[in-house]
Chain A
């Protein structure tokens, strides 16, 4: 019922979920954006250790409810696909389609018989394997034994691959009847050019059609290894139990090695920078995506950009973009901007959809709003308000086991400092007006952004935006970056981007 369907949009079979949720809940806001960013774990320290095989484990005991969440993150997302776009996704799908002595039906039944919820997924940076189970020993034991087999002994059979390949192909066709999906695909391709982030994790019909069992097995052997894994555990367990679970799940994997560093995305191709790409589609609305390369996890500009974007387009009705687009003019239901921090610079995305014939007006207005913000920065009142919102709302972001497991998984995967959550508020408080102006000035070149419009007619070119004081953004070197966590609760914010 209160299903957050936006979060599940890449799952092709959730047709009814979408339909029914739409039928039941018409929410007031539709802004999209990245998951919330901060946390502190209610006074409980994050425990961290490394398993014998070299997997990093993060654990937070939460004794209140008799349940546990386990999330294993591998650096095995679609950024590792190479030319075989869709390989990471297919590998992740096939993990629980036959493993050890159990076939697909048996695996599903073994989880469901004990009320456990199991899932796998692959996005650009990471592949995830997740379990939620009751902690009653017999139930947990069956769930863990099944998860262990799935992780350590997947069969990757030809017949299963063929069927799941066909389902992925249906999923790709499904994307093509969604102007939003078409816009997202084109936007990433434009922004990232030849970089691995350019491709969608769902692949293309050509690449998915060509995937083989051997490729899947090789991919699994290379990337589903202990040194390439982060294990996040949150629940009613003690340290000893958590250690034993982590060891059991990891020690049967090869030790292997961590995936190599990803290349830094090249600057936007001059042929598309500042241009508007139009994709013809017979929809009532045009879907707009604008943006540029953004930040990586651990980026020194992260906090000024995060707080600044909160004011620009990241905080719904408190943000300038929603004020200008929706509140002042009624142009769109949903409008937003966000930075999606990833391993190497993820995108800065500005998006909205509006009636076909007012696309030009909306585009011009979006550009002007961003340009003004980059040129002048926020007002002192806006900054004070944003800080109150971000820091005052801190407890909401870590008020459930599912929130906490998302955050500690992210901290472990991107090797953020363990005190990331505890120091989050003070870092937000420390951001100054000058830092925001400086960071946006260096990192957001409005005149050079990529723009994709999917809709019936090409928008009339908006008036040239004032470049302001924007300068090209040299992406800082070094590693770190993307989120896994979920929106604070089942509601308005879908997880955008990756």
Chain B
């Protein structure tokens, strides 16, 4: 088990690229606009197939939030040919596993199979790209399932609840202000007609990327894709509006009171991502900065705030440089016993100030880069993760080639650049702070039953 370190790296330093020794990506474009990316990995006789649609939470608008995710659930509820629930059973009968996930900027479906079964996946995915039936009765049940999912993941988790409210306050007009699972009220009023419209608008080959990684021959995969997806008609896709966030003009603070045992602090600075940065290096510098602060147990937050000052039981940082819109540089913390969120916030801000005033040491920078380089090798142990990277980059419009550049771009980051982005972006005027204030849970005792 490598829980702490591994998770920190994955979060903070997503996706290195396959270094030169990694196998190349083969790119194909079908006539109907479906893009196919294939990477060979012959270590085991398996294949992963993922289809990525360029639609997610950030395509939604007020009143229909959560619709992309509900549609993802409904994609398993049948076509003219395949009855509801049958999709996963067919994959299972072929020894495979399948699932789907919805993010801010994408909806993706995947199957993992023994290599000879790839055609099963293609046939089913091509079918449901065009022929979804969306039955009313299945929708009514599935909406309840999603509402249960919302209760499980957000409403009964005080930190997730805090994050949801924090996020909605941090952004004024960016679509990132809405939760991916949707506001409860919007879920309650969602209709099948809404879903049908959403499906027809976004589910078309020219709005999708098919990614295949595994023990396959690229040209054969291309022929198979042509056979199953080639005849699907293309449709015009509505242009995505810029929806740029209105500049923040001063710090925002909220309190969330919820049943909980522990206080919790969330801080978010408005920052660009690779796609929106004035200069691309800024995004890579923010990525490295996240590593300097929390990319491992030797990073500044764990070392200083957790172990030396002992103000927090944990402090972490999150930054995703591969989003479609500008996002937040997130810091979160759980205060130690007897410490307050305000005290931890002060310590975090003192560290930020230090980044603005002093250059990061050569040693720290070298360490972050070493982790990124190693991570880019470790990632290749997972065919699934390799496919994730390619799909995500392609879907947000950056292009899969960014995966191959990643390590070199991180290596090029300088200490001065770290200081510059800290001064430019980690500033109070762009900061939002949320504090979870625990409401006591009647009857609960620490650790007892």
Question: A-side interface residues toward B, CB under 8 Å?
Answer: 1-3, 5, 7-8, 11-20, 22-30, 42, 62, 64-67, 104-105, 108-109, 111-121, 128, 130, 132-134, 139, 163, 166-167, 169-179, 182, 185-186, 189, 202-206, 208, 279-285, 315-318, 323, 326-334, 353-355, 385, 388-396, 398-402, 484, 488-492
Query: When the two chains form their complex, are residues B96 and A393 in contact, meaning their CB atoms are under 8 A apart?
Result: yes
Query: When the two chains form their complex, are residues A331 and B148 in contact, meaning their CB atoms are under 8 A apart?
Result: yes
Separation of A391 and B117 alpha carbons in the complex (Å): 14
B11, B143, B151, B298: the one contacting A20 at CB < 8 Å is B11
Query: When the two chains form their complex, are residues B149 and A119 in contact, meaning their CB atoms are under 8 A apart?
Result: no
Query: When the two chains form their complex, are residues A282 and B259 in contact, meaning their CB atoms are under 8 A apart?
Result: yes
The reply to whether the CB of B257 lies closer than 8 angstroms to some CB of chain A is no
Query: When the two chains form their complex, are residues B3 and A14 in contact, meaning their CB atoms are under 8 A apart?
Result: yes
Query: Which residues of A are found within 8 Å of B297, using beta-carbon distances?
Result: 104, 108, 112
Query: Which residues of B are found within 8 Å of A62, using beta-carbon distances?
Result: 43
Separation of A176 and B260 alpha carbons in the complex (Å): 8
Query: When the two chains form their complex, are residues B45 and A395 in contact, meaning their CB atoms are under 8 A apart?
Result: yes
Query: When the two chains form their complex, are residues A16 and B377 in contact, meaning their CB atoms are under 8 A apart?
Result: no
Query: When the two chains form their complex, are residues A490 and B385 in contact, meaning their CB atoms are under 8 A apart?
Result: yes
Tell whether A1 pairs with B3 under 8 Å between CB atoms, given A19-B159, A22-B163, A42-B45: no
Query: Which residues of A are found within 8 Å of B159, using beta-carbon distances?
Result: 15, 18-19
Separation of A333 and B181 alpha carbons in the complex (Å): 13
Query: When the two chains form their complex, are residues A189 and B449 in contact, meaning their CB atoms are under 8 A apart?
Result: yes
Query: When the two chains form their complex, are residues A170 and B149 in contact, meaning their CB atoms are under 8 A apart?
Result: no
Query: Which residues of B are found within 8 Å of A19, using beta-carbon distances?
Result: 159-160, 163, 266, 318, 332
How near does chain B come to A131, taking the closest CB pair, in angstroms? 8
Tell whether A488 pairs with B97 under 8 Å between CB atoms, given A116-B374, A121-B3: yes
Quick one: which of A163, A385, A396 has the most chain B CB within 10 A? A396
- Listed by A's residue number, 12 A-B pairs whose Cβ atoms lie within 8 Å are A16-B318, A19-B266, A24-B103, A26-B72, A67-B381, A117-B374, A167-B306, A203-B447, A333-B148, A389-B93, A392-B96, A395-B114
- Residue in chain A with minimal CB distance to B105: A24
How near does chain A come to B416, taking the closest CB pair, in angstroms? 22
Tell whether A285 pairs with B156 under 8 Å between CB atoms, given A25-B101, A166-B337: yes
Query: When the two chains form their complex, are residues A490 and B384 in contact, meaning their CB atoms are under 8 A apart?
Result: yes
Query: When the two chains form their complex, are residues B10 and A385 in contact, meaning their CB atoms are under 8 A apart?
Result: no
- Residue in chain A with minimal CB distance to B8: A17
Tell whether A173 pairs with B262 under 8 Å between CB atoms, given A130-B1, A395-B44: yes
The reply to whether the CB of B264 lies closer than 8 angstroms to some CB of chain A is yes
Separation of A13 and B297 alpha carbons in the complex (Å): 12
Query: When the two chains form their complex, are residues A492 and B163 in contact, meaning their CB atoms are under 8 A apart?
Result: no
How near does chain A come to B366, taking the closest CB pair, in angstroms? 7
Query: When the two chains form their complex, are residues A22 and B153 in contact, meaning their CB atoms are under 8 A apart?
Result: yes
Query: When the two chains form their complex, are residues A179 and B156 in contact, meaning their CB atoms are under 8 A apart?
Result: yes
B152, B156, B371, B388: the one contacting A112 at CB < 8 Å is B371
- Residue in chain B with minimal CB distance to A280: B443
Separation of A115 and B320 alpha carbons in the complex (Å): 21
- Contact mask for chain B residues 378-392; partner A; CB cutoff 8 A; 1 contact, 0 none: 101111110010001
Query: When the two chains form their complex, are residues B334 and A12 in contact, meaning their CB atoms are under 8 A apart?
Result: yes
Separation of A128 and B259 alpha carbons in the complex (Å): 34
Query: When the two chains form their complex, are residues B92 and A385 in contact, meaning their CB atoms are under 8 A apart?
Result: yes
Tell whether A396 pairs with B99 under 8 Å between CB atoms, given A18-B159, A114-B370, A354-B148: no
Separation of A115 and B5 alpha carbons in the complex (Å): 11
Quick one: which of B45, B96, B378 has the most chain A CB within 10 A? B378
Contacts of B142-200 to chain A: CB distance below 8 A: 142-146, 148-149, 151-160, 163, 167, 179-181
Separation of A476 and B309 alpha carbons in the complex (Å): 52
A117, A163, A173, A329: the one contacting B9 at CB < 8 Å is A117
Separation of A327 and B144 alpha carbons in the complex (Å): 11
The reply to whether the CB of B324 lies closer than 8 angstroms to some CB of chain A is no
- Contact mask for chain B residues 127-155; partner A; CB cutoff 8 A; 1 contact, 0 none: 00000000000001111111011011111
Query: Which residues of B are found within 8 Å of A186, using beta-carbon distances?
Result: 449
How near does chain A come to B302, taking the closest CB pair, in angstroms? 8
Query: When the two chains form their complex, are residues A23 and B167 in contact, meaning their CB atoms are under 8 A apart?
Result: yes
Separation of A280 and B7 alpha carbons in the complex (Å): 33
The reply to whether the CB of B15 lies closer than 8 angstroms to some CB of chain A is yes
How near does chain B come to A179, taking the closest CB pair, in angstroms? 6
Query: Which residues of A are found within 8 Å of B377, using beta-carbon distances?
Result: 65-67, 134
Query: Which residues of A are found within 8 Å of B385, using beta-carbon distances?
Result: 2, 489-490
The reply to whether the CB of B345 lies closer than 8 angstroms to some CB of chain A is no
Q: A14-B3, A19-B318, A353-B148 are in contact. List 12 more A-B contacts (CB 8 A).
A: A19-B332, A67-B378, A104-B307, A108-B303, A111-B298, A113-B367, A166-B336, A170-B337, A185-B449, A355-B151, A392-B114, A393-B96
The reply to whether the CB of B412 lies closer than 8 angstroms to some CB of chain A is no
Query: Which residues of A are found within 8 Å of B381, using beta-carbon distances?
Result: 65, 67, 400-402
Query: When the two chains form their complex, are residues A333 and B145 in contact, meaning their CB atoms are under 8 A apart?
Result: yes
Separation of A86 and B374 alpha carbons in the complex (Å): 34
How near does chain A come to B198, taking the closest CB pair, in angstroms? 15
B101, B181, B261: the one contacting A173 at CB < 8 Å is B261
Query: Which residues of B are found within 8 Å of A279, using beta-carbon distances?
Result: 449
Separation of A391 and B112 alpha carbons in the complex (Å): 14
Query: When the two chains form their complex, are residues B260 and A177 in contact, meaning their CB atoms are under 8 A apart?
Result: yes
Query: Which residues of B are found within 8 Å of A16, using beta-carbon distances?
Result: 11, 316-318, 330-332
Separation of A316 and B315 alpha carbons in the complex (Å): 35
Query: When the two chains form their complex, are residues B2 and A330 in contact, meaning their CB atoms are under 8 A apart?
Result: no
Separation of A285 and B154 alpha carbons in the complex (Å): 11
Query: Which residues of A are found within 8 Å of B61, using beta-carbon distances?
Result: none
Query: When the two chains form their complex, are residues B262 and A177 in contact, meaning their CB atoms are under 8 A apart?
Result: yes
Contacts of B283-300 to chain A: CB distance below 8 A: 295-299
Tell whether A166 pairs with B89 under 8 Å between CB atoms, given A42-B44, A64-B43: no
Tell whether A108 pairs with B298 under 8 Å between CB atoms, given A14-B7, A114-B374, A166-B337: yes
Contacts of B58-114 to chain A: CB distance below 8 A: 69, 72-73, 76, 84-85, 88-89, 92-97, 99-104, 112-114
The reply to whether the CB of B313 lies closer than 8 angstroms to some CB of chain A is yes
Query: When the two chains form their complex, are residues A391 and B95 in contact, meaning their CB atoms are under 8 A apart?
Result: yes
Query: When the two chains form their complex, are residues B141 and A329 in contact, meaning their CB atoms are under 8 A apart?
Result: yes
How near does chain A come to B374, taking the closest CB pair, in angstroms? 2
Query: Which residues of B are found within 8 Å of A27, using beta-carbon distances?
Result: 99-101
Separation of A123 and B225 alpha carbons in the complex (Å): 45
The reply to whether the CB of B373 lies closer than 8 angstroms to some CB of chain A is yes
Separation of A1 and B8 alpha carbons in the complex (Å): 10
Query: When the two chains form their complex, are residues B2 and A118 in contact, meaning their CB atoms are under 8 A apart?
Result: yes
Query: When the two chains form their complex, are residues B92 and A315 in contact, meaning their CB atoms are under 8 A apart?
Result: yes
Query: When the two chains form their complex, are residues A399 and B99 in contact, meaning their CB atoms are under 8 A apart?
Result: no
Query: When the two chains form their complex, are residues A13 and B4 in contact, meaning their CB atoms are under 8 A apart?
Result: yes
- Residue in chain A with minimal CB distance to B99: A492
Query: When the two chains form their complex, are residues A177 and B261 in contact, meaning their CB atoms are under 8 A apart?
Result: yes
Separation of A156 and B3 alpha carbons in the complex (Å): 21
- Ranked nearest first, the 9 interchain pairs of A and B with the lowest CB-CB distance are A392-B95, A13-B314, A115-B374, A330-B141, A330-B144, A119-B2, A399-B44, A108-B298, A108-B297
Quick one: which of A20, A114, A128, A279 has the most chain B CB within 10 A? A20
Tell whether A176 pairs with B144 under 8 Å between CB atoms, given A22-B154, A488-B112: no
Query: When the two chains form their complex, are residues A117 and B101 in contact, meaning their CB atoms are under 8 A apart?
Result: no
Tell whether A14 pairs with B384 under 8 Å between CB atoms, given A112-B367, A205-B447, A396-B114: no
The reply to whether the CB of B242 lies closer than 8 angstroms to some CB of chain A is no
- Residue in chain B with minimal CB distance to A67: B377
B3, B10, B69: the one contacting A26 at CB < 8 Å is B69
Query: Which residues of B are found within 8 Å of A139, using beta-carbon distances?
Result: 374
B5, B104, B148, B262: the one contacting A117 at CB < 8 Å is B5
Query: When the two chains form their complex, are residues A163 and B261 in contact, meaning their CB atoms are under 8 A apart?
Result: no
Separation of A27 and B117 alpha carbons in the complex (Å): 23
Query: When the two chains form their complex, are residues A109 and B298 in contact, meaning their CB atoms are under 8 A apart?
Result: yes
Query: When the two chains form their complex, are residues B89 and A385 in contact, meaning their CB atoms are under 8 A apart?
Result: yes
Query: Which residues of B are found within 8 Å of A205, using beta-carbon distances?
Result: 446-448
Query: When the two chains form their complex, are residues B93 and A174 in contact, meaning their CB atoms are under 8 A apart?
Result: no
- Residue in chain B with minimal CB distance to A204: B447
- Residue in chain A with minimal CB distance to B338: A166
The reply to whether the CB of B310 lies closer than 8 angstroms to some CB of chain A is yes
Query: Which residues of B are found within 8 Å of A120, using beta-carbon distances?
Result: 1
Query: When the two chains form their complex, are residues A396 and B441 in contact, meaning their CB atoms are under 8 A apart?
Result: no
B48, B181, B314, B320: the one contacting A14 at CB < 8 Å is B314
